[in-house]
A and B are shown apart, each in its own frame.
Chain A
Amino acid sequence: MSEKKKWYSLDLGLNRKKSDTACGCGKTEGGCGSHKPEMTDDAFLEAAVNASIGEEVRKDGFEQVFDVKMDRRSAFKKLTASLLIGAGAVSTSCSVISGDDTKEKAQIDWEEQFKGNYKLMNDEEKKATVDRLMRSYELRTGKNISMTHENAEEDVLFGYAFNISKCQGYMDCVNACIEENNQDRNSQMQYIRIHEMKDGKGFNFNEADDNYYHEVPAEGHFYMGTQCFHCDNPPCVEVCPVQATWREDDGLVVIDYDWCVGCRYCMAACPYDGRRFNWSKPEVPENEINKNQHYLGNRMRKKGVMEKCTFCVQRSRKGQNPACVEACPTGARIFGNLLDPNSTIRWVLENKKVFRLKEDLGTEPKFWYFMD
């Protein structure tokens, strides 16, 4: 990292782990006791962030602005906060006819409308918004969902490999993805596209068909899937005017659906067709909703916001494979932790001739293709 380079390159942590793995115990966690604490890249990053934005990073919404150590400011904050509470109280308590549920719903809607950016929330605030969303769903439909907000784990960097020789174009991954991630059924939104290519033409996307309706595998064709590649240097993140999308520490590029303003600049910036927009209100039949949700993953979206593949954050952070990997009947999809030397994905990267799409753009996708 300290080495100055002319271009961005993906840091798999291979170099930084060298001193750790040199230890006789073979573990990276430091269980044997002979690992010395040192300033890791993460710690350095945190120190740098603290130095540059300081307290702001831990604060939420209005507090990011008003809660500054300054007398006038804090007085202003108290004024505004009381004003907000007052307005909320007035809007809910003034109505005589509405019941407690309606009042609670109004209170939740109010707090949700004016909450801060998830990226800058601390765990408490994350929990508060997740609780509100679950309660709001219960109030509206009478049913319960389970929503979590697990953060990225340390020493995890997710990566994905796609075996072109194995894929037969069954599209089970596409269907599993739609069901898992509660995608809008009306617009037939799908994060994954399977491109059917002609043998002998190479990777010719121009002549490929990503919307076929016939029996597969079709004679003389091969198949290649694309989705969000979770770039390590994602152009979509750079261009977002409100930081509603960002790269998490485990490498996932995620969106806060409630912070997105819907300008679609990220869509124009993505070279991989990885992003989708909710052009109208997304609809999923109540009995088909996947109720195991994550704030950054498959929770219900609203009209006018971006969404995308999150490597099924609600699954991957619990140690499961994404739905597409699990659904693939041919084993063409491989997912795992790039920092774990014993993972399958690492084996693929070390033993297969892998390549990535549009590498010349410097986006460093964490999605590799290979052949048997």
Chain B
Amino acid sequence: MRRFKVFKNLVIDSLDTITKGSRKYHIWMAFLTFVMLVGMYCYSMQLQHGLSVTGMSDRVSWGLYISNFTFLVGVAAAAVMLVMPTYVLKDIDFKQSVIMGEGIAVAALIMCLAFVIADMGGPSVLWHMIPGIGVFNFPNSMLTWDVIVLNGYLFLNLSIPFYILFRRYQGKVPNPKVYIPGAILSVLWAVAIHLVTAFLYQGLQARPFWNNALLGPRFLASAFAAGPALIILVLAVIRSFTSFKIEDKTLNKIAMIVTVAAQINIIMLVSELFKEFYAPTHHSESAYYLFFGLDGKTALLPWIWTAITMNVIATAILTIGKLRKNLKVLYFCCALLFVAIWIEKGFGLIVPGFIPGPYGKIIEYLPTKIEVGVTLGIWAMGAFVFTVLAKTAIGIELGKLRYKKKTS
């Protein structure tokens, strides 16, 4: 009974915290709310007219939604890069930032689920997929595996930080025996979510561009570059706007992770390019389309070359230790890397998988305004969720939020 009372107090206190803040905070939240409303309007159009309002067609049947979903699974998986050293290897440096990493994972997973639902033709019959009342095609369909791992990971990333913060809120020390097993499990689980998502594509013999053993490992490498890069940027923002203390040492350690992952990602990219272009076969056509265009159709060229340029520049700069230690340069590189990998996962991976089609037909894909609106709305929702979670967590971590310590 007491726990419920404490929980009720926590909810009230956190509602109190998240509705109060500086002028900048209010503008930020208002802006996110506005973008979310625009997104909801666009989604209502989509519900009314069907997916025909998007740029997708029978030839390119997955587009911006599934691209973003794939990318965000990687971002969510990357939280593990902070969890492992903190909880498992007991590296104290990360303790401050790990809660933020988990917050990002939660926000990213909520966005993933939203993107999948946005992509569904029949959201009203989604209960068909709920194990128990519906028919869950497990283990045959990789999509059902994905449903399991994503929801499991969401649960882990909600429960571990919740336990820790709940204890801190009451002024108690969290018991490592409770959260360490969960943390170890979540480390393994993070690898699983991204690998399973890669298998979703990798297992399709119909699409030679995806049906490639390197896809899974490359997903992991690029995720462990893009995810921590986002965490660095978020920590930088938190550092400058709140009194939450994050040491340079922490940022440098995360930067190290980003660097190594980005380097591995480049090595794998080279291996992929070599295979596609040294002895090109019929199966290399998608890669040709992506990098050089086919039959005068060149819609993806600017995207992929921008991404590769940004990727190489960022990785090269990060590799030089002296430059990496300069925080301004580090932030710049992280932003570059984040955008580059977003393009790579979206326009560079999902779309060319469908082009050319099974019989060589080349129909290009361009998202419509409504599709972009829904996408931005979902991103705004993710940012909103993260801001709410982070503000509460920072309040508790700083000791401002405590049970029965209502001074004001």
A305 CA to B125 CA, complexed, in Å: 11
A363 neighbours in B (Cβ, 8 Å): 205
CB distance B51 to A271 under 8 Å? Answer: no
Question: What is the size category of the interface that chain B forms with chain A?
Answer: 35 or more
- B14-22, B128-136, B162-170: which lies at the interface: B128-136
Interface residues of A in 108-123 (CB under 8 A from B): 113, 117, 119-120
**A344 close to B (CB within 8 Å):** no
Residues of B within 8 A of A (CB): 49-52, 56-58, 61-62, 116, 119-122, 124-126, 128-129, 132-137, 140-144, 147, 200-201, 203-207, 285, 353-354, 356-361
Question: How many Å from the CB of B136 to the closest CB on chain A?
Answer: 7
Please provide the 8 A-B residue pairs with the shortest distance between their CB atoms, ordered closest to farther.
A262-B121, A304-B121, A271-B206, A206-B360, A279-B52, A280-B52, A280-B50, A241-B143
Residues 265-291 of A at the B interface (beta carbon under 8 Å): 265, 267-273, 275-281
Cross-chain contact A240 with B141 (CB below 8 angstroms): yes
What is the chain A residue whose CB lies nearest that of B119?
A263
Query: Does A226 sit at the interface, judged by CB under 8 A?
Result: yes
Contact A303 B120 (CB under 8 A): no
Residues of chain A whose beta carbon lies under 8 Å from any beta carbon of chain B: 62, 64-65, 113, 117, 119-120, 187, 189, 193, 195, 205-208, 210, 226, 235, 238-244, 258-265, 267-273, 275-281, 303-306, 361-363
**B132-A235 in contact (CB<8A):** no
The answer to whether A242 and B128 have CB atoms under 8 Å apart is: yes
- A112–B274 alpha-carbon span in the complex (Å): 53
From B121, B141, B206, A260 is in contact (CB under 8 Å) with B121
Docked CA distance A263–B129 (Å): 11
Chain A residues, Cβ within 8 Å of B126: 261
**Are A268 and B122 closer than 8 Å at their CB atoms?**
no
Known: A263-B143, A276-B58, A304-B122. 12 other contacts (CB 8 A): A226-B359, A239-B141, A240-B141, A241-B136, A242-B134, A243-B135, A270-B358, A271-B358, A272-B358, A277-B58, A279-B58, A280-B49
Measured in the bound complex, the distance between the Cα atoms of B178 and A292 in whole Å is 64
Complex Cα distance, B128 from A272, in Å, reads 27
Residue on A nearest B140 in the bound complex, by CB: A238
Across the interface, do A303 and B128 meet the contact criterion of CB distance under 8 Å?
Answer: no
Per the bound structure, the CA–CA distance linking A248 and B124 in Å amounts to 27
In the complex, are the beta carbons of B204 and A235 less than 8 A apart? yes
Distance, CA A33 to CA B201, complexed state (A): 53
Closest CB of chain B to A115's CB: distance in Å? 10
A281 to B48, CA, bound (A): 10
- The residue in chain A whose Cβ has the minimal distance to the Cβ of B357 is A273
* Inter-chain contacts of B207 with A (CB < 8 A): 268
Min distance, Cβ A254 to any Cβ of chain B, angstroms: 15
| A271 x B205 contact (CB < 8 A) | yes
Contacts of A238 in B (CB 8 A): 140-141
Distance between B68 CB and nearest chain A CB, rounded to angstroms? 15
- What A residues does B356 contact at CB under 8 A? 206
Interface contact A205-B121, CB-CB below 8 Å: no
Is there an interface contact between A273 and B359, defined as CB atoms closer than 8 Å?
A: yes
* A259:B128 contact, CB within 8 angstroms: yes
* Complex: chain A residue closest to B208, CB-CB: A271
Least CB separation from A120: chain B residue: B135
Q: Which residues of A contact B128 (CB under 8 A)?
A: 117, 242, 244, 259, 261
Query: CB distance A362 to B205 under 8 Å?
Result: yes
| Docked pose: A195 CA to B357 CA in angstroms | 14
Q: Is the CB of A265 within 8 A of B359?
A: no
Q: Is the CB of A235 within 8 A of B206?
A: yes
CB distance from B95 to the nearest CB of A (A): 39
Q: Complex formed: what's the CA distance from A189 to B52 in Å?
A: 13
B360 touches A278 (CB 8 A): no
Residue with the greatest number of chain A CB neighbours at <10 A, chosen from B57, B61, B204: B61
Contacts of A235 in B (CB 8 A): 204-206
Determine whether the beta carbon of B120 is less than 8 Å from that of A205: no
Contact B358 A264 (CB under 8 A): no
Which partner residue on chain B sits nearest A265 by CB separation? B143
Q: Which residues of B contact A279 (CB under 8 A)?
A: 50-52, 56-58
Q: List residues of chain B with CB within 8 A of the CB of A276.
A: 58
Find the A residue at minimum CB distance from B138.
A241
